[in-house]
């Protein structure tokens, strides 16, 4: 809006929101206790967007006049600018974002401002605001997950033949390639995106029109508002529309799972960076030192991701608990939905942004990974499979190999370092072709089916993943 057209009105300091019905004002403590403006002001843009759509519908259905609509639009545009520039004065006395904006609108444009709330309640208004906010947040989060998936793919691509020990029970189990290990996280994140997209469909419904709880006697056009705001449809029961926050709970559940996945990866990065593993190093910008031990380089960022997962899980439990005993319809309890939800979104966004960057700075020590895979008889299963393919029942093969491992262990060598006659003591089925099977490379290459760790399969998985991201 051009500065010359700016409407001027002083900020009213004396406020009496509930007027005639009340004989005494609330105490300052109660005012602070019940107010949400300190945190719900971040919904302001969505509140204005919702109000504009509502006002246009009111005018289109002749519930308010065209002149009122024009004034409301001018006033709300100006308020949006005031908020963006930081000059808007937020008042605790006005409780929440909705009343702050409405009061300012009335100060700027007079009676037309008072007409905006026709056929509406803060109950359907706030439910609409949160849904608009959450829809935008989901879209941001999905893009950030995609960026992290790209980073995983780029790293995995460089390591389709980097052998490392695969673990079960954190004990060396079978060799895998590092790219395969990373692609496991790609799959987890893929499901996370699916969950968010599914949740988005239920977020994207319009509560406005439900008014306080029962609907409204005005001839409103809900579909029009839904369409203007980009919703897929309207909430079909007014009581449900103003009271349930299941869409936010679902989102928090999806967020908790994302953080859980990132926490698992963090735990691995921390282990791998420990000198006893020495598999990777993280770029210095994600680590800190110790104030007492000069040699230390601590993986603070992954540790914090692991820690912050607890807080996001906590928000999910907070929202479930918030909802569990609420009778229909709206209750003030619902005001408590915002901080957990906002903090979940903020934590997730920061974590994902930092993670994509951190993955690009991972330095891999191939030799350390290879050496670790050589310890722990990672190809024992390959020897058992070899014997089984030559006709020995698998359970017998399992026992035969257990004895060979014991022998190798006693002589301090890997299975592949035993001589042919040594191996043949355990089974006459063993021939010279066994050595191709007992090497780490032979072992990973033999798992050559979709989902297996053979380098060719990992490359194919990366290619499929790139296609699904583009
Ligand atoms: N600040 C309130 C919230 O976040 C807005 C709705 C208040 N409605 C009411 N009837 N007190 O839920």
CA–CA distance, 430 with 441 (Å, rounded to integer): 19
Q: Which of 222, 242, 219, 244 is nearest to 234 (CA)?
A: 222
Confidence band (pLDDT; 50, 70, 90) for 17? low
Q: Which domain holds residue 33?
A: 28-118
CB-ligand 1 contact for 120 (6 Å cutoff): no
Same domain, 415 and 278: no
Same domain, 292 and 213: yes
Give the residue, out of 96, 97, 241, with the most ligand 1 atoms within 8 A of its beta carbon, to mutate for a pocket test.
96
Helix (H) or strand (E) holding 420: helix 420-424
Query: Among residues 95, 118, 141, which one ends one of the domains?
Result: 118
Same domain, 73 and 107: yes
* 143 catalytic per annotation: no
Q: Which of 317, 318, 304 is nearest to 347 (CA)?
A: 304
Same domain, 143 and 284: yes
* 180 catalytic per annotation: no
Q: What is the number of structural domains in the chain?
A: 3
Confidence band (pLDDT; 50, 70, 90) for 46? very high
| Cβ-contact 126, 336 below 8 angstroms | no
Tens digits of residue pLDDT in 305-322: 999 999 999 999 999 999
The residue from 38, 143, 290, 411 that is catalytic is 290
Asked if the structure places residue 12 within a domain, the reply is no
Tens digits of residue pLDDT in 400-454: 999 999 999 999 999 999 999 999 999 999 999 999 889 999 999 999 999 999 9
SS3 state at 16: coil
CA–CA distance, 175 with 439 (Å, rounded to integer): 10
CATH number of the domain that residue 44 is part of = 1.10.275.10
- More confident site: 387 or 293: 387
Q: Is the peptide bond before 130 cis (omega within 30 degrees of 0)?
A: no
Asked if the structure places residue 19 within a domain, the reply is no
C-beta neighbour count of 254 within 10 angstroms: 25
CA distances to 308, 390, 404, 411, 435 from 416, rounded to whole Å, are 44, 19, 11, 13, 6
Same domain, 202 and 241: yes
Mean pLDDT of the chain: 95
Query: Among residues 370, 395, 416, which one ends one of the domains?
Result: 370
* pLDDT score for 116: 98
Asked if the structure places residue 6 within a domain, the reply is no
| Cβ-contact 83, 44 below 8 angstroms | yes
Same domain, 248 and 312: yes
Tens digits of residue pLDDT in 234-264: 999 999 999 999 999 999 999 999 999 999 9
Query: Among residues 324, 354, 370, which one ends one of the domains?
Result: 370
CB-ligand 1 contact for 196 (6 Å cutoff): no
Same domain, 82 and 68: yes
CATH number of the domain that residue 414 is part of = 1.10.40.30
């Amino acid at each position: 809006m051009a500065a010359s057209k700016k409407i001027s009105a002083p900020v009213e300091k004396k406020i009496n929101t509930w007027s005639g019905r009340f004989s005494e004002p609330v105490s300052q403590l109660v005012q602070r206790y019940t107010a949400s403006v300190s945190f719900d002001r971040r919904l302001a843009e969505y509140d204005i967007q919702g109000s504009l759509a509502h006002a246009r519908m009111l005018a289109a259905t002749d519930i308010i006049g065209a002149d009122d609509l024009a004034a409301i639009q001018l006033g709300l545009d100006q308020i949006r600018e005031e908020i963006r520039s930081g000059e808007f004065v937020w008042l605790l006395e006005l409780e929440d974002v909705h009343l702050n904006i409405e009061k300012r609108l009335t100060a700027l444009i007079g009676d037309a401002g008072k007409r905006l709330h026709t056929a509406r309640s803060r109950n359907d208004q706030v439910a609409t605001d949160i849904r608009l906010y959450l829809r935008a947040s989901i879209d941001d989060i999905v893009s950030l997950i995609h960026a992290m998936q790209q980073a995983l793919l780029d790293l995995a691509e460089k390591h389709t033949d980097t052998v490392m020990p695969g673990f079960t029970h954190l004990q060396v189990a079978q060799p895998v390639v590092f790219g395969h290990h990373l692609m496991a996280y790609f799959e987890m994140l893929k499901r996370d995106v699916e969950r968010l997209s599914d949740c988005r469909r239920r977020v994207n419904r319009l509560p406005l029109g439900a008014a306080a709880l029962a609907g409204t006697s005005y001839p409103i056009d809900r579909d029009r508002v839904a369409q203007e705001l980009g919703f897929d449809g309207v909430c079909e029961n007014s009581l449900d529309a103003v009271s349930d926050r299941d869409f936010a709970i679902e989102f928090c559940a999806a967020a908790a799972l994302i953080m859980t996945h990132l926490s698992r990866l963090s735990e691995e990065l921390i282990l791998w960076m420990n000198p006893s593993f020495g598999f990777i190093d993280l770029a210095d910008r994600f680590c800190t030192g110790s104030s007492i031990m000069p040699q230390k380089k601590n993986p603070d960022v992954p540790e914090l991701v692991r820690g912050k997962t607890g807080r996001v899980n906590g928000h999910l439990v907070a929202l479930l608990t918030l909802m569990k005993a609420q009778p229909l319809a709206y209750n003030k309890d619902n005001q408590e939905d915002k901080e957990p939800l906002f903090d979940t979104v903020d934590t997730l966004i920061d974590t994902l942004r930092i993670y994509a960057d951190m993955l690009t700075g991972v330095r891999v020590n191939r030799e350390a990974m290879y050496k670790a895979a050589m310890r722990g008889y990672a190809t024992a299963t390959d020897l058992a499979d070899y014997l089984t393919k030559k006709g020995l029942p698998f359970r017998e093969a399992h026992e035969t190999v257990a004895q060979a491992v014991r022998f190798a262990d006693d002589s301090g060598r890997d299975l592949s370092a035993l001589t042919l006659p040594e191996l043949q003591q355990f089974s006459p089925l063993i021939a010279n072709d066994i050595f191709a099977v007992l090497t780490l490379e032979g072992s990973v290459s033999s798992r050559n089916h979709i989902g297996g760790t053979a380098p060719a399969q990992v490359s194919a998985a990366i290619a499929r993943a790139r296609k699904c991201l583009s």
